Amino acid sequence: MELTFKFFIHFFILLPLASFTLSLFIPKKNENALSILAYTSVGLQLLVSIFFTYQWASQGFHEINLKEFSVYQNGNYDFYLDFYFDKLTMVYLLLGSSLTFLITIYSRYYLHREEGYKRFFNTILFFFLGFIIIIFSGNLETMFIGWEVLGISSFLLIAFYRDRYLPVKNAIKVFSVYRIGDVGIILAMWLSHHLWHENISFAKLHNAELVHEHIMQNSLVGLAIAFMFYISAAAKSAQLPFSSWLPRAMEGPTPSSAIFYGSLSVHIGAFLMLRTIHFWENQIAFKVFLIFSGLLTAIIATFISRVQSSIKSQIAYASIAQIGLIFIEIALGWEVFALIHITGNAFLRTYQLLISPSVVSYKIREQFYHFKRKPATLEDSWPKRFEYAFYILNLKEWNLDNLMYTILWNPLKKIGRNWQILNFKFVFYFIGIVIFSGLILIQFRDEMPAILRHQLPFFFAFSGFLIVVKAYTEKDSVRKSLTLIMLNHVAIAIAISFNEHYDFMHNFWYLSGILVSWFVGLLVINYLRNREEWISLDQFYGHVYEHPKAAVIFLICCLGLAGFPITPSFVGEDLIFSHIHEDQIGLAFFTALSLVINGLATVRIYARVFLGPHIKTYHEVAKRSS
């Protein structure tokens, strides 16, 4: 029976992977084959999942944990793929398969003759693959693979109408929030290495005595890990203070809005909190914080949704409010109730978003045949001055967007502008001296005083942070920005190399994918420079229309530079954090921040060069306000 269960779990993982791979080779004009492949594979997944759930339930609902294989192992470090199946996975599997099946059937007709028909189905299947990896993940490392897939598929679907300004702009904005969630997972993995002294699996978290023993030994680390989980979950599920991205993600096609931001992707944060509940359920301070944040999100999102003029924005904020309540239920330990709430909210929001294009005709019909006066509301009983002020505050979405810019992005841009004062040649000389001196100093790390060996990693990590901020704010040369991103990774590798047991092989795992991606990316840019008059980062150029193959290759290179799980650098990122000491908080912070910003910088380069309104006047250009 164990072999049978193992076969089914492998089937659930490999079927989305096979269908996505196969969809890449179907010609874009063959709409019928693309749609049939999508809904047939997802429908088969649904049927098999129902059969498997029945078989699994008849065996007593026992949990299944499969440690597949170790990708890399060295001493106590073991990066392994692990798959886990329990009641939580079962609910999300049935929910995800059902809704994706419905969306693929709906999209077959809704997107008929759409120029990006193939891209849409490619991305939906890619998203479904990431979703399945997340819900079947048995440890944080495996989950992070699916987490990254969800992030990039969200970016591609929001920017689906890539000839328009706002979809591309909002796609970058949403991706920036997702990168903050990525940092939460990365730092949680780093702290978990020190708390458990191994790559802990979710199955071991069910051992209450083991969890209690480790948390009692270091309660502050346990609390920090719980807060890192919350940051990741809040960013993905649009909880405060990250709520403003969700309505901006509605720029994509209606079916993608329904499956991503109405049902599945937006509830992944709740999945993370449910999956890790056995870790933080006895941390009272964190539970109080989770209840308070969920309640605050529910209240604020409810008021904001009541003043939105767009039906999609109303649905988005209504969904945010419900997820805030779901977080409260999870904090109170009502796991079954939370799963019922998640399922109901997902189906309701999917339905609402799918019929949203028709809401205007429904409202017109209501006005003619079923007109009713607007009923009195709670706000009508307030003093008018207060009511109007509160209305404006909600209309401005409590300035959440401005808050994100003030706290996060504006300080980075200010640092980048200070770099602009310096001549670029001087900047490269400075970076070259820093990296060259680091390579020399590494050779003498064993002879260094302990205090110097402890401080140098922070210095080089901070230097790497400054380098990648310069890459993020660069507006002139694409090649310079790409090179700065690559040098940022080199600076991080140098910083970690001062810690013991970090050797050449670890650097190979980390830098091999980075260097190859950087070199191929430069070749693509040179290819464009030979065929186009000028390419910079001061605006959107839209070269994907005339150079689609170059755009695909460059996107893959950008993903490689960002540490996406297509190169060994993905394992290398986890490796470098496993070698950061528990007391090296500054090193961990600037390393994580550098990884966030270089991901944003690479996506920004791709968007500026290949997406947006085309620079050439003989292409149709959508209005900026579209």
pLDDT digits (tens, 9 = 90+) for 96-121: 999 999 999 998 888 888 888 899 99
Judge if 168 and 240 occupy the same domain.
yes
End of a domain among 343, 362, 381? 362
pLDDT at 43 over 90: yes
Same domain assignment for residues 444 and 512:
yes
CA distance 482 to 517: 10
Domain boundary among 316, 335, 362: 362
- On whether both 595 and 497 belong to a single domain, the answer is yes
The mean-pLDDT minimum among 22-26, 271-275, 421-425, 502-506 falls in 421-425
Query: Does residue 340 share a domain with residue 440?
Result: no
Q: 342 and 443 share a domain?
A: no
User: What is the mean predicted confidence (pLDDT) over 553-575?
Assistant: 86
Number of domains observed in the structure of the chain: 2
The answer to whether residue 122 sits within a structural domain is: yes
Q: Does 377 reside within a domain?
A: no
Same-domain status, 432 and 509: yes
Nearest-CA neighbor of 354 among 118, 99, 170, 121? 99
| For residue 127, pLDDT beyond 50 | yes
The DSSP H or E segment spanning 611 is none
- The whole-angstrom separation of Cα 199 and Cα 139 is 7
* CA dihedral over 88, 90, 93, 94, signed as positive or negative: negative
Q: What is the mean pLDDT of residues 411-437?
A: 73
Range with top average pLDDT, 2-6, 261-265, 547-551: 547-551
Of 84-98, 372-386, 507-521, the poorest mean pLDDT is in 372-386
Within this chain, do residues 335 and 483 fall inside the same structural domain, yes or no? no
Other C-beta atoms closer than 10 Å to the C-beta of 239 total 27
Residue 626 lies in a domain: no
Q: What is the spatial distance between Cα 470 and Cα 413, in angstroms, rounded to a whole number? A: 9
Is residue 317 domain-shared with residue 456, that is, in the same domain? no
Q: What's the pLDDT at 421?
A: 58
pTM of the model: 0.91
- The lowest-confidence range among 204-208, 341-345, 409-413 is 409-413
Q: Please tell me the predicted confidence (pLDDT) of residue 625.
A: 46
Tell whether the model's pLDDT for residue 377 goes beyond 90: no
Within a domain: 502: yes
pLDDT of amino acid 339: 93
Question: What number of residues does the chain have?
Answer: 626
Bridge partners of 81, per DSSP, are 69
If asked whether residues 442 and 309 sit together in one domain, one would say no
CA distances in angstroms from 359 to 252, 349, 351, 352, 513, listed in the order given: 18, 14, 12, 9, 48
Paired with 609 in beta bridges are none
Q: Which of 83-87, 200-204, 477-481 has the lowest mean pLDDT?
A: 200-204
Residue 396 lies in a domain: no
pLDDT at residue 427, as a whole number:
74
Query: Does residue 146 lie in a domain region?
Result: yes
- If one compares 564 and 446, the residue with the highest pLDDT of the two is 564
Domain of residue 512 covers 422-610
Q: Are 178 and 154 in contact (CB under 8 A)?
A: yes
Same-domain pairing of 321 and 427 = no
Interior/surface letters 72-94, b for 16+ CB within 10 angstroms, e for the rest: beeeebbbbbbbbbbbbbbbbbb
Instruction: Tell me whether residue 378 is in a domain.
Output: no
Residue 140's alpha-carbon distances to 30, 85, 147, 167, 497, in angstroms, are: 39, 15, 10, 31, 24
* Closest alpha carbon to 96 in 252, 261, 254, 263: 263
Q: How many Å apart are CA 125 and CA 339, to the nearest integer?
A: 24
CB atoms within 10 A of CB 284: 9
pLDDT in tens, 450-470: 777 778 888 888 888 888 888
With the CA atoms of 341, 344, 348 and 351 taken in that order, what torsion angle do they form, in degrees rounded to the nearest 10?
140
pLDDT at 624: 52
Which residues are within 8 A (CB) of 601 and not within 5 positions of it... i.e. 6 or more apart?
Answer: 468, 471, 472, 481, 484, 485
* C-beta of residue 163 within 8 angstroms of C-beta of residue 139: no
Q: Is residue 246's pLDDT more than 80?
A: yes
Q: For residues 551 and 68, which has the higher predicted lDDT (pLDDT)?
A: 551
**Partners of 74 in the β-ladder:** 77
Phi, psi values for residue 358, rounded to 5°: -100, 0
Neighbours of 417 (CB within 10 A): 11
Same domain, 314 and 432: no
Q: In the prediction, which pLDDT does 424 show?
A: 66
Same domain, 354 and 450: no
Residue in 58, 55, 45 with CA at minimum distance from that of residue 92? 45
Average pLDDT of 549-575?
87
Asked if residue 189 is part of any domain, the answer here is yes
Domain boundary among 362, 393, 411: 362
